[in-house]
């Protein structure tokens, strides 16, 4: 008589999970961390519920029915002890995992700095000197895009140089949001950059380069999006190779740091720029060529 083997069923994986993000401020930090963590998982169907500016128990009580109706993971940054205690109580009653995502970092900083953290909601978004410096950086960067305003480049922290479509503008804007004043200039074989580029003292000049094959693809897609003819010198394989070689020679001749953006996202390119800039600041010396 055949023996029937019964396979034990494994844990059931839900088709969709609910992710509740509760913050006592704008929630920008919370959203960024959640997005970074979710990027580590593939084929996920996550329904996000975003609850910013939760600064009182009364506000939290209005959210509780939503937590009960859509049970899932709760991530929060709440510093008010009463509001936080109530959230943890509700989550415990409903069996919902609740994660205070900044606790470990704050505790480590308290230990390292030898002082207690200030429990002020939204403290990181206070309109202090750093806030206005970031606004100024954004305004400067927008006003000095694509080679404009070269007379003021000495005021910049960073100047990005590269051929057309090498991600100069989006990288500049991203860096500006981090508080860096950035100017950028396209390098064109037929139109040399202003002499001021070669005599800058304060800004760090960084060259952005990319694989010609990838650049051709990007430029052709750009032309097609504009309903223009893709078969032009702008997207010609040999012309593009010549442009990239021209830019690389300029970087080497001037001893500028170089970043290859071929396989980098804007965030990764910006991180590499910041690392180079910080290294120069720590050295306190003139920059040297450093391809990365």
What is the tens place of the pLDDT at every residue in 63-120? 999 999 999 999 999 988 999 999 999 999 999 999 998 888 878 888 888 887 766 5
Q: Please, which residues bridge with residue 46 across strands?
A: 17
Domain contains 115 = yes
Is residue 290 annotated as involved in ligand binding?
Answer: no
Domain contains 143 = yes
Q: What is the mean pLDDT of the chain?
A: 87
What is the structure's pLDDT at 12?
54
104 φ/ψ angles, rounded to the nearest 5 degrees: -65, -40
pLDDT in tens, 21-46: 999 887 888 888 888 888 888 878 89
Give the CB-side neighbour count of residue 59, counting CA atoms within 13 A: 15
Domain contains 184 = yes
Is residue 162 annotated as involved in ligand binding?
Answer: yes
Domain contains 11 = no
Whether 107 and 133 map to the same domain: the answer is no
Whether 53 and 192 map to the same domain: the answer is no
Mean pLDDT lowest for which of 12-16, 49-53, 76-80? 12-16
Its domain, for residue 171, covers 129-283
Domain contains 289 = no
The percent of residues above 90 in pLDDT, for the chain, comes to: 62
What is the structure's pLDDT at 286?
44
Give the CB-side neighbour count of residue 167, counting CA atoms within 13 A: 24
Whether 194 and 101 map to the same domain: the answer is no
Domain contains 121 = yes
Structural domains in the chain (count)? 2
Q: Per-residue DSSP letters for 30-84?
A: HHHHHHHHHTTSSS--EEEEEE----SHHHHHHHHHHHHHS--EEEEE---HHHH
pLDDT in tens, 235-256: 999 999 999 999 999 999 999 9
Whether 65 and 186 map to the same domain: the answer is no
Is residue 16 annotated as involved in ligand binding?
Answer: no
Domain boundary, last residue among 108, 125, 142: 125
Quote the CA–CA distance of 186 and 233 in Å, as a whole number: 16
Is residue 169 annotated as involved in ligand binding?
Answer: yes
Whether 142 and 159 map to the same domain: the answer is yes
Whether 254 and 266 map to the same domain: the answer is yes
Domain contains 291 = no
User: Taken in order 69, 86, 31, 134, is the CA torsion positive or negative?
Assistant: positive
Is residue 168 annotated as involved in ligand binding?
Answer: yes
Is residue 54 annotated as involved in ligand binding?
Answer: no
Domain boundary, last residue among 91, 125, 159: 125
Whether 187 and 228 map to the same domain: the answer is yes
Whether 37 and 67 map to the same domain: the answer is yes
Domain contains 288 = no
What is the structure's pLDDT at 105?
83
Whether 107 and 149 map to the same domain: the answer is no
Write the CATH number for 103.
Answer: 3.40.50
Angle, CA of 40, 35 and 177, to the nearest 5°: 125
Whether 110 and 143 map to the same domain: the answer is no
Is residue 286 annotated as involved in ligand binding?
Answer: no
Domain boundary, last residue among 125, 154, 183: 125
Is residue 83 annotated as involved in ligand binding?
Answer: no
Whether 153 and 215 map to the same domain: the answer is yes
DSSP 175: H
Whether 120 and 138 map to the same domain: the answer is no
Quote the CA–CA distance of 132 and 154 in Å, as a whole number: 20
Structure tokens at 234: 């702008």
What is the structure's pLDDT at 15?
66
């Amino acid at each position: 008589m055949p023996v029937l083997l019964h396979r034990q069923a494994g844990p059931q994986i839900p088709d969709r999970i609910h992710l509740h993000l509760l913050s006592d401020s704008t929630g920008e930090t919370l959203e960024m961390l959640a997005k970074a963590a979710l990027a580590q998982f593939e084929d996920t169907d996550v329904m996000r519920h975003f609850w910013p500016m939760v600064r009182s128990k009364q506000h939290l009580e209005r959210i509780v029915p939503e937590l009960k109706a859509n049970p899932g993971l709760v991530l929060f940054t709440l510093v008010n002890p009463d509001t936080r205690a109530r959230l943890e109580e509700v989550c415990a009653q409903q069996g919902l995992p609740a994660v205070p995502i900044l606790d470990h970092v704050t505790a480590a900083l308290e230990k390292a700095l030898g002082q207690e953290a200030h429990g002020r909601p939204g403290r990181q978004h206070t309109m202090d000197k750093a806030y206005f410096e970031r606004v100024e950086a954004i305004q400067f960067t927008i006003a000095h895009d694509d080679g404009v305003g070269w007379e003021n480049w000495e005021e910049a922290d960073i100047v990005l140089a590269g051929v057309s479509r090498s991600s100069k503008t989006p990288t500049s804007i991203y860096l500006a949001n981090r508080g860096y004043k950035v100017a950028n200039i396209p390098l064109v074989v037929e139109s040399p950059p202003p002499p001021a580029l070669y005599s800058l003292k304060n800004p760090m000049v960084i060259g952005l380069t990319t694989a010609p094959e990838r650049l051709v693809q990007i430029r052709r897609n750009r032309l097609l999006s504009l309903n223009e003819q893709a078969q032009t010198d702008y997207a010609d394989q040999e012309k593009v190779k010549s442009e990239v070689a021209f830019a690389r020679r300029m970087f080497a001749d001037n001893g500028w740091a170089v970043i290859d953006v071929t396989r980098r996202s804007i965030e990764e390119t910006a991180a590499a720029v910041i690392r180079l800039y910080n290294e120069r600041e720590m050295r306190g010396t003139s920059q040297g060529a450093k391809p990365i």
